[in-house]
Chain A
């Protein structure tokens, strides 16, 4: 019996009781259709839903980039008797917004009949597992319904969309043994001049500096700066308190895209890249190289969520021992307060080279929430900008490279600014 029928049943009994108490036949008679309706509905029972139904869901793709459109097809195949009234509703996960088609079939399904539910969804970042399919079968006269939920396991992984960025210069104190794009601060084979030293047997004759030999009367060879691959670990700040909600997304979404772009860039250069998502819990992708590593990082970023755990409230619990000594760290964080600067200073003090990517959304929020008193809002915005300049200046002062990224502009533009102006201004 369906629980919803208890309400009209209650009305029917109430009318009967009232009619009997008041000795009023009209009231008793009024309850007859209601009670008949309820009794017949209760006594009729449809066959078990989905017993003879075969359900198969097909996705246009199993991996996508956020914003992509994915076609979904749910095929319902009836292997048993015909069903007069059938409803099949696909369980679209919340992260997939339906933009075309309908996710429900409603109608008749004859014996050995097949129906297809087709619709298109727009994907948001994340791992989206489809919910169970709701199947409702009505009895032949539509008097009773039986509902069941059938699990058809399907999932789609949606990676963050990222921009291809121009080369970023990093200078970690320690590099790895293999040739790569990062200058190793050591003499050897390379392109950029590094220094001179006395000739030793076995040195390439073409590297002898003949002018120095003429001046000093001893053989001197030129040395070039070694270029190696580096360990680059990207730390994504996923603390809820660090991020702001914008009109369509959050600064965290922007941060995730930036982290993905940086990971792709450093892996493309041949570096050994790892990822730590610091927020809800520690999600750690062990450093590696190549396209497979990029897939691992993007998978992790797809599932990254904001967290508000008290234990991760401050950056001081970043597990620095996970990272190779004196390697390059890339911290993607809006950096909320002075404590964060202190942590960055501590990491630099331990020998890590820090590249900070600071998404800044205040100008977007200012444009969105501008009050009637525009002058005061503009003044407040100016004060906030000055404070931020001071804040980033402090970070530069302790030796961090900074990408000051206003989220309304493309990330690749912000990355260019570090190369040409900000890097010179901030680098010690």
Chain B
């Protein structure tokens, strides 16, 4: 899991570095490369909090890249890769007790699913710039309602949030 996590963090760093070089922002490119090195260093001396710290740093760097008008596809791609790295890295301590073969298969399956999910988001960003939607009053109202429903669902889930690890009834034979 750590290797898969590191791979995604490095992809994020590479995207930022490439964007920096392409648009003449060597400071951004250097920061991306530095963050990639830090990610490798962090994964080698792995601690459970490292993926979270790395995601935070990437979030800041993506914000900075946006300030310098780097195209949204680069920014969202970098943050999406870092997000998958965080998600996979966060699981590493939870699967430490399994055999290496099981861990490898699980890491692959999990990373692919998470990458697929954030990939949809990146695709949305990529297509958003090319799609022009002419909103009328009715479609605008419908969209507003849809957003309201989504917000209500979100709040409902937030209020239901409980710490994991609740006891379940044992099915004792």
Contact = CB atoms under 8 A, between A and B. Distances in A.
Contacts of B71: 26
A31 B118 CA distance: 11
Nearest to A103: B97
Given A30-B62, A55-B171, A85-B106, A104 B97 contact: yes
A262 B153 CA distance: 70
B170 interface: yes
Task: State the majority secondary structure of interface residues on A.
Answer: mixed
A26 B66 contact: yes
Contacts, number: 188
A8 B86 contact: yes
B44 interface: no
A33 B97 contact: no
Interface string A10-28: 0100110011001011111
B67 A22 contact: yes
Contacts of A49: 168
Nearest to A11: B59
B121 to A, nearest CB: 3
A309 B66 CA distance: 63
Contacts of A33: 76, 79-80, 83, 118-122, 124-125
Interface stretch (B34-42, B132-140, B156-164): B156-164
Contacts of B167: 132, 148-151
A105 B102 contact: yes
Contact of B158 (A1, A26, A142): A1
A85 B109 contact: yes
Contacts of A3: 161, 163-164
Interface string B93-105: 0111111001101
A56 interface: yes
B83 A39 contact: no
Contacts of B128: 29, 32
B118 A106 contact: no
Nearest to B62: A30
A4 interface: yes
A1 to B, nearest CB: 4
Interface in A17-65: 18-19, 22, 24-37, 39-43, 48-51, 53-56
Given A14-B59, A56-B173, A132-B167, A24 B66 contact: yes
Contact of A19 (B52, B66, B114): B66
B110 interface: yes
Contacts of B63: 14-15, 18, 27, 30
A269 interface: no
B69 to A, nearest CB: 6
Interface string A52-94: 0111100000000000000000000001000001010110000
Contact of A87 (B69, B98, B122): B98
B117 A40 contact: yes
A317 interface: no
A79 B171 CA distance: 11
B67 A24 contact: yes
Given A30-B65, A85-B109, 7 more contacts: A26-B66, A27-B75, A37-B80, A50-B171, A102-B98, A107-B106, A148-B168
11 contacts: A14-B59, A18-B63, A30-B65, A32-B121, A33-B119, A36-B118, A87-B95, A87-B98, A104-B96, A142-B110, A150-B169
**Which 4 pairs, one residue from A and one from B, show the smallest C-beta to C-beta distance?**
A33-B121, A29-B72, A104-B97, A27-B66
Interface of A: 1-4, 7-8, 11, 14-15, 18-19, 22, 24-37, 39-43, 48-51, 53-56, 79, 85, 87, 89-90, 102-107, 132, 135-136, 138, 141-143, 145-153
